Homo-oligomer: A and B are copies of this chain.
Amino acid sequence: MVRVHGDTGHCWHGMHCAAVLGAAQATSTAPLLRAQLLGAARHTMATNLLHVPKPQGLLRPLVVPERLLLGPGPSNVPPRILAAGGRQLLGHMHPEVLQVMDEIKAGIQYAFQTQNRLTLAISGTGHCAMEAALLNLLEHGDTALVAVNGIWGQRAADIARRLGAVVRELWKPPGEYFTPQDIEEGLVRHKPLVLFITHGESSTGVLQPLEGLGELCHRHGCLLLVDAVASLGGAPIFMDQQEIDVLYSGSQKVLNAPPGSAPISFSERAREKILRRKTQPLSFYLDMGWLANYWGCDGEPRRYHHTAPINSFFSLREGLAMLAELGLESSWERHRANCAQLCQGLRDLGLELFVKEEKARLPTITTVRVPKGYDWKEITAFLMENHAIEIAGGLGPSAGKVLRIGLMGCNSTSSNVDRVLHGLRDALRHCHRSRL
């Protein structure tokens, strides 16, 4: 028999009230509270105890309209991945979950093209993986060189400063990328322990060439940390061959899983730096020593660390499985081809691409200058209201300057290119030009 009171103002009393009362009597509880507790125990209406009533908004149904998410992420989630995230829970130490975690590791190793044993998913979103990367590598006083050509470099610099690192910055205007010469000058000048650089700068639409940077960093005694949140699966990256030391991404871009978990991997060089730390990482939740154990990366029996987001892992597994089934090369080619079609269509509309050089354009997120005399907010609002399509304005240094159109994973299709171009044409026709 389940003995649950209905929600009809029944008196709530008995054991707990007695316990509450006992404790209240035993201590110097504030008089008001004490009187209330006494009152409850004396069989007044229990609802007197509840000063905060039931919220009415929560008693109405959840509203989730269908939209085509062609912003910089999250992107739409295919039914197979939604279904995986909607499966019943298992415990975070059950063998089937450990098996799923092993499969995620293998999927990340494939997506990153790495054989690193320290490969796993962070229990948080992409930003959380950025913190995990920086806080495990950096100790107070370590020098970090951060390549800033958009918001992600700014964020990495902010995080590294909070950790007590000495932060040096290399700057490029939004829309540009760093050459190996730029990087080498920075390495020579600042002698950093870590270089942070963004592969897919989603705020500006720049794809940073990575070739040679790993070798360059290692020649100067520096570790190479790469943010591939927006690019992974959409543009080639070869962690081992390119000698990248720490690489991370997010679940909600090309992998088409909901946000909530984030792939990350550390090279042996990075792993050794972590092992040589003099101080513990400033976070327990993101301590790579504990996470390596929980993810079976250290050869030791797995111990409880935290309750992982199990069904986010189920979704991430399916996202990685779909990428493996399609194949990395096919995925890269899909993103290249649809991005090319989009760029041509945008030019045909008379719009100007923000990133000048074709080879430096991120295939997953295309930036286009806000056309003269238009308000970007009107354009994005028009697309949302009239076409149920999300595109975004700029972010950080590109705010107000650009529109951003994302084509990621299952959203990177020729028909979505047609839909967004059709919507944009409509928006340009209807949105009022300013009088300036």
Complex Cα–Cα for A241 and B284 (A): 32
Complex Cα–Cα for A18 and B332 (A): 14
**Contact present for A180 and B27 (CB under 8 Å):** yes
Chain B residue at minimum C-beta to C-beta distance from A321: B58
**Contact present for B30 and A243 (CB under 8 Å):** yes
Whether a CB of chain B sits under 8 angstroms from the CB of A86 is: yes
Residues 231-289 of A contacting B (Cβ, < 8 Å): 235-236, 238, 240-243, 250, 252, 258-260, 280-285
**Contact present for B258 and A215 (CB under 8 Å):** no
**Contact present for A329 and B5 (CB under 8 Å):** yes
Distance in angstroms from A57 CB to nearest chain B CB is 5
Interface size class of A (residues with CB under 8 A): 35 or more
Given A283-B162, A312-B312, A324-B59, decide whether A329 and B66 contact each other with a Cβ distance below 8 A: no
Which residue in B85, B131, B209 is a CB contact (below 8 Å) of A85? B85
Chain B residue at minimum C-beta to C-beta distance from A156: B284
| B residues near A340, Cβ cutoff 8 Å | 15
**Contact present for B62 and A91 (CB under 8 Å):** no
Interface centre among A64, A77, A161, A179 (most CB of B within 10 A): A64
Whether a CB of chain B sits under 8 angstroms from the CB of A191 is: no
**Contact present for B96 and A285 (CB under 8 Å):** no
Which residue in B22, B55, B64, B321 is a CB contact (below 8 Å) of A110? B55
| B residues near A427, Cβ cutoff 8 Å | none
Chain B residue at minimum C-beta to C-beta distance from A358: B15
Given A58-B317, A59-B325, decide whether A52 and B285 contact each other with a Cβ distance below 8 A: no
**Contact present for B91 and A86 (CB under 8 Å):** no
| B residues near A10, Cβ cutoff 8 Å | 329-330
Given A12-B332, A66-B88, decide whether A54 and B324 contact each other with a Cβ distance below 8 A: yes
Given A3-B333, A162-B282, decide whether A321 and B59 contact each other with a Cβ distance below 8 A: yes
**Contact present for A82 and B86 (CB under 8 Å):** yes
Whether a CB of chain B sits under 8 angstroms from the CB of A124 is: yes
- Identical chains in the assembly: 2
Whether a CB of chain B sits under 8 angstroms from the CB of A106 is: yes
Whether a CB of chain B sits under 8 angstroms from the CB of A398 is: no
Distance in angstroms from A285 CB to nearest chain B CB is 5
**Contact present for B284 and A131 (CB under 8 Å):** yes
Residues 327-384 of A contacting B (Cβ, < 8 Å): 327-334, 336-338, 340, 358-359
Chain B residue at minimum C-beta to C-beta distance from A128: B285
Complex Cα–Cα for A127 and B122 (A): 13
Segment with Cβ contacts to B, from A42-50, A141-149, A168-176, A220-228: A42-50
Segment with Cβ contacts to B, from A67-75, A192-200, A428-436: A67-75
Complex Cα–Cα for A150 and B86 (A): 33
Interface centre among A23, A49, A358 (most CB of B within 10 A): A23
**Contact present for A212 and B29 (CB under 8 Å):** yes
Whether a CB of chain B sits under 8 angstroms from the CB of A292 is: no
Complex Cα–Cα for A211 and B38 (A): 13
Given A212-B28, A336-B14, decide whether A55 and B329 contact each other with a Cβ distance below 8 A: no
Whether a CB of chain B sits under 8 angstroms from the CB of A109 is: yes
Complex Cα–Cα for A326 and B410 (A): 40
Whether a CB of chain B sits under 8 angstroms from the CB of A158 is: yes
Chain B residue at minimum C-beta to C-beta distance from A45: B329
Complex Cα–Cα for A310 and B24 (A): 41
Distance in angstroms from A63 CB to nearest chain B CB is 6
What would be 7 A-B contacts, judged by CB atoms less than 8 Å apart?
A3-B333, A3-B338, A3-B414, A33-B241, A124-B128, A124-B285, A258-B309
The 10 closest A-B pairs by CB, nearest first: A27-B212, A86-B86, A55-B106, A260-B309, A19-B359, A23-B209, A12-B329, A23-B211, A3-B337, A127-B306
